[in-house]
Structure 1
Amino acid sequence: MRAVAATDRDKLEKAPTKHRKIGAYRVLGELGRGGMAQVYKGLHETIQREVAIKELLPDAQKDKESLSRFHREALALAAFRHQNIVTLYDLVEKNDSLFMVMEYVDGPTLQDLIKDGYLPPDVAAVVGARIASALDHAHFRHIIHRDLKPGNVMLTKTGEVKLMDFGIAKDVDLVALTQQGMAVGTPAYMSPEQVTGVQLDPRTDIFSLGVLLYEALTGTRPFQGRTAGEIFAKIRDGKYTPLAKAAPHVPAPLANVVKRALEVSPEKRFPDAAAMRRELDLFLAHVVKVSHPALLMGFLHQRQKLTETEALAHLTHAELGVLKENAAEQRYRMPTGKLKWVAAVVLLSLATATGVYLTQDKWAPVVEKKVADQPAPASPPAPTRSPGKK
C-alpha cells in the first residue's frame, strides 16, 4: 500500500488509534492503509464481534470520484449475501468521516501465499471455484468487480475463501464513474476489453480470474512488461506462455479451464462465472477426496499460516494427520527429474482420455513409485460360489 499523505497522517495521529470509538465499535489497532483508505481492526463491545473498519481518508473525501467509489463499494457489499464475499455490517458517519464496518477476515491474502510459492493444482482450483461462485452471485446482481487480483482474495483460518474490495466495482444499471474509454483496474489483471476501453460485461471478471489462477499455479503473471503499455499490448494480443509449458505439473483439465478463461474474445470464454465454477468443480470431484475447507486448512498449516492448535479447533487429529502425510509426500512442489516428467505426461494423457485423475497430492509420488517398483502381478481371482452354498 502507498504511504498515506502527510495531512492525513497528522489528522490520524491526533486521535490515538487504540482509544478511538467509531459508533458502537472500539478500534483495536491498524491493519493497513492505502492512498484512499485506512483499515482498522475493531470490536463491537456489546456482542464481542471482531470487525474490520475501513475509513475513507480526509483527502479522498474531498475527491468526488473517491467518495462515489466508497459509497458504491458499500452499496455493492450491502446487496451481497454470499459466504465467499466479505460481509458489510454498517456504514458509519462520524465527524465528517465515513467508515465501512465489515467482517473481519483472519488469514493471509492469496498474494501473500503466492509470494511463498505457487499453489498446488487442487488448492488453486478450490480457490478459483469459490471466487467464481462469488462472481456469479455479484453478476446476478449486475455488479462487475473489475479489480480481481490476488491481493483482493483472502483465505480464512477456517478454510474459507473471501473476495473483497469492490472499490471500483461497476453496477451496470448505474452511470459509470470514469469517462468512456478510460482503463480502470490493475494493469496486469485487466481484460482486453478494459485495456481497449470497450463496453464491459461480466466476462471481463472471468478473464481476470484466469489471470489470477495462472499466477497461483505458476507463481508468475501471464502478462508482463516494463510499462503498462507493454502489458496492455500483450493482453490485447493474447501473448503469454501457455500454462502447459509454464507449469507442466498442472493437470490438463485444469490448464484447459485457465486457457479458456484467458481467451481474448469474450465470446470464446466461459459464458458466465457459473459455467467456469462448474468446470472447476468437475475437476475437483476427481482429485479431492476431503472437504474443501479441510484441504485449504491443511495447505495453510503446511505453509505455516495456521498453527496446529488452530487447525485442531476444526479438524480431528486423524484428519490433520492425513493432510500432514499428504503434504509431506509431495510438499506442494513441482516434480523434478526426467522419469517423473515422462510418467506424468503418460498418466495425464490417459486421464484426459478416460476422465480418471489421480489426486494432486499423490499423482507425482505415485508415478515415481510405480515406475520404479514394478509391482508383481496380482494373484488370480478366487473361484465364485453358487448362490446359497457356503
Structure 2
Amino acid sequence: MLDEIISHYKILKKIGAGGMGEVYLAQDTRLFRQVALKFLPASYQYDPARRARFLREARAASALRSPNSAAIHDIGEHQGLGFIVMEYVEGELLSHRISSGVIEISEAIDVTAQIAEALDEAHSLGIIHRDIKSSNIIVKARGLVKLLDFGLAQITNYIQQDAAQYQTSILDQETDTNKVNANQTLERNENHGATIAFDHPCPDPDPGSGHREQTSGLGADIGATIALDENISSTQASDANEGQTIALDEYVAATQVLEDTNSASQTRQPSNASEGTIQRPFSQSDSEDQATTIGLVMGTVPYMSPEQAMGLTLDHRTDIFSLGIVLYEMLSGRLPFLAESQAQLIQNIVHQQPVAISQLNSKVSSELERITRKCLEKDRELRYPTARELIYDLQRLQKENKTIALSESASLQPPQAVKNRAPAKPLIRLRFCLLKI
C-alpha cells in the first residue's frame, strides 16, 4: 500500500496497527498537508448495520472543535474498506513517556485536565470515547495534549438502539439457521431434481442442480461477531483477528466469575501460567494496543470501567473511569489493575481496589489521591458526574500546589539586610532657622 494514492491521499508509511484497524501516514495532495488514514477492519464491509453506525459516529465526532481532540477531516472507502482521515499529530505517546518513568505531579495533573477538556466537549455532544488509554494520548513539544481515535467513539443517544438491533440480529440469525436446517431436511426428502427456494440468502452456483450452497454471515465475519454455531470455536475467532479480540470462552468465563465468585476456579487460565508467577499488566505482555470487540463490548481491557467490562449500557462516566486509570498510571508508573489473564483482569476491575498511589509515589498528596479514587469508583454514581467537575478539582489543586511551591521557595531565600537611613536633614535646617530669628 506504500506510495499508493487513495482518493487524493498518498500513503507514505504505516505508523500503527491494532484490533480496530491499521493507521498510515499520508500526504493530502490537494491541501499539501500530512494526515493519518485509519483503515477499519475488513469485517465492517460484511455488516451493513456496523458500517452505518461507523458513518453516523464519525460524522458526529467530526463536529469536535476542542484543541485537545485530534480532528477528523474526512471519511471514505477504498476497495470495500472504510477509512477515516484524521489530523496527524506529531509528538510523544503518553504510554512511551510513562515507560521512561513516573510523570511529574504537575505534568500529570495538566495532562489529565487537558484530556478532561476534550471529554467535556464530547460528552456535551452526546459522544463517549470508550477507549481512553495512554497510547491514545499524544503530548506535543509545547505541552499541548491531544486525544486520538474519536472516530471510533459512540453516540449515547443510539446505544440502546444499537443494543436492540444487535439482539434482534442474533435472533434473526438463529431463525435463519433453523429455516436452513428445515429446508435441507425437506430437500433430502424431495425428488433430487426439485429446486428448493431457501429463505436464507445464499449464492446459487447451478440453479438446475437442485442444490443451493449454504453460506453463513457469521462465517464471513469470524472474529468480529460472536459465533453462534457451537462448531465454531472461540479460539478460531480470536486467532482470525490476530489476538486483538477477547476470546469468547475467556470473556464468558470472566462474566460468570462476576456473577458467582465461587466458580472462579472454572475460568480458563493461560497454559503457561505457573505458581509464583509475578503479576503484571496484561496489556504490557500481550499487546500494547488491545482493542477488543465482543458484540457491543469495545475498548482496551486494562482501561475498561466495570460496566464496560461487564458489557452493560455505557454513559459518559465510563470515560471518567478510564481517565482515572491513566492518571493513576502517570503517578505510579503502573496500571491499577494487574492480572495474569483477561478473565482475572476483568474480575479485578469489577471487584478489586487498587493499591494506594501514595504507597508507590510518596510525592502524591492526599487530595490528588482523593481525586484519582473518585474517578475510579466502581459505582458510577459515586464518580465525578461530569468531566467539568473533574477539571475544577484539578485546576484548584494545581493552583494550591503552585502557591505552596512559591511559599516554600520564598522561605529558602536569605533575609535581606536592612539599610541605615540618613538623618532627617530638613528638620535640622528648620531648627537652625528658628534660633537665628
Tell me: CA distance 1:167–1:88, structure 2 relative to 1, closer, same or farther (3 Å).
closer
Q: Is the 8 A contact 2:61 2:153 kept in 1?
A: no
Matched, 1:246 2:230: no
Matched, 1:159 2:143: yes
Q: Is the 8 A contact 2:130 2:298 kept in 1?
A: yes
Matched, 1:220 2:334: yes
Match of 2:404 in 1: 357
- Kindly report the root-mean-square deviation, in angstroms, between the aligned alpha carbons of the 2 structures: 3.3
1:238 Cα deviation from its structure 2 partner: 4.3
Match of 2:195 in 1: none
Letter in structure 2 aligned against 1:357: I
Distance 1:41 1:226 in 2: 35
Matched, 1:17 2:5: no
Matched, 1:34 2:10: no
Distance 1:249 1:104 in 2: 35
Give unpaired runs (5+ residues) of structure 1: 1-15, 289-355
Distance 2:152 2:78 in 1: 24
TM-score, with length taken from structure 2: 0.60
Q: Is the 8 A contact 1:29 1:42 kept in 2?
A: yes
Match of 1:82 in 2: 66
Distance 1:146 1:224 in 2: 20
Instruction: Report which of the two structures shows the higher radius of gyration computed on alpha carbons.
Output: 2
Is the deviation greater in 249-258 or in 67-76? 67-76
Letter in structure 2 aligned against 1:233: Q
Distance 2:152 2:393 in 1: 28
Tell me: CA distance 1:249–1:175, structure 2 relative to 1, closer, same or farther (3 Å).
closer
Distance 2:419 2:53 in 1: 69
Matches within 5 A, 1:69-218: 70-166=54-150, 168-176=152-160, 177=162, 183-218=297-332
Is the deviation greater in 256-265 or in 93-102? 93-102
Is the deviation greater in 69-78 or in 122-131? 69-78
Matches within 5 A, 1:240-389: 240-287=354-401, 356-358=403-405
Match of 1:45 in 2: 29
Q: Is the 8 A contact 1:69 1:167 kept in 2?
A: no
Tell me: CA distance 1:206–1:175, structure 2 relative to 1, closer, same or farther (3 Å).
closer
Q: Is the 8 A contact 2:73 2:85 kept in 1?
A: yes
Distance 1:382 1:216 in 2: 53
1:194 Cα deviation from its structure 2 partner: 1.9
Distance 1:59 1:200 in 2: 24
Tell me: CA distance 1:64–1:244, structure 2 relative to 1, closer, same or farther (3 Å).
farther
Letter in structure 2 aligned against 1:260: K
User: Cα deviations across residues 305-361 of structure 1 (Å, max 9, x unaligned)?
Assistant: xxxxxxxxxxxxxxxxxxxxxxxxxxxxxxxxxxxxxxxxxxxxxxxxxxx4227xx
Letter in structure 1 aligned against 2:405: L
Match of 2:350 in 1: 236
Q: Is the 8 A contact 1:77 1:86 kept in 2?
A: no
Give unpaired runs (5+ residues) of structure 2: 168-254, 256-295, 428-437
Distance 2:88 2:380 in 1: 35
User: Cα deviations across residues 182-224 of structure 1 (Å, max 9, x unaligned)?
Assistant: 6432222111222334432211211111111000111101111
1:79 Cα deviation from its structure 2 partner: 2.4
Q: Secondary structure at the match of 2:328?
A: helix
Letter in structure 2 aligned against 1:150: S
Tell me: CA distance 1:40–1:184, structure 2 relative to 1, closer, same or farther (3 Å).
closer
* Larger RCO (CA under 8 A, 6+ residues apart): 2
Q: Is the 8 A contact 2:61 2:151 kept in 1?
A: no
1:77 Cα deviation from its structure 2 partner: 2.1
Distance 1:212 1:220 in 2: 9
Q: Secondary structure at the match of 2:138?
A: strand
Tell me: CA distance 1:26–1:128, structure 2 relative to 1, closer, same or farther (3 Å).
same
Q: How many residues get paired?
A: 296
Distance 1:106 1:254 in 2: 30
TM-score, with length taken from structure 1: 0.67
Q: Secondary structure at the match of 1:173?
A: helix
Distance 1:81 1:267 in 2: 28
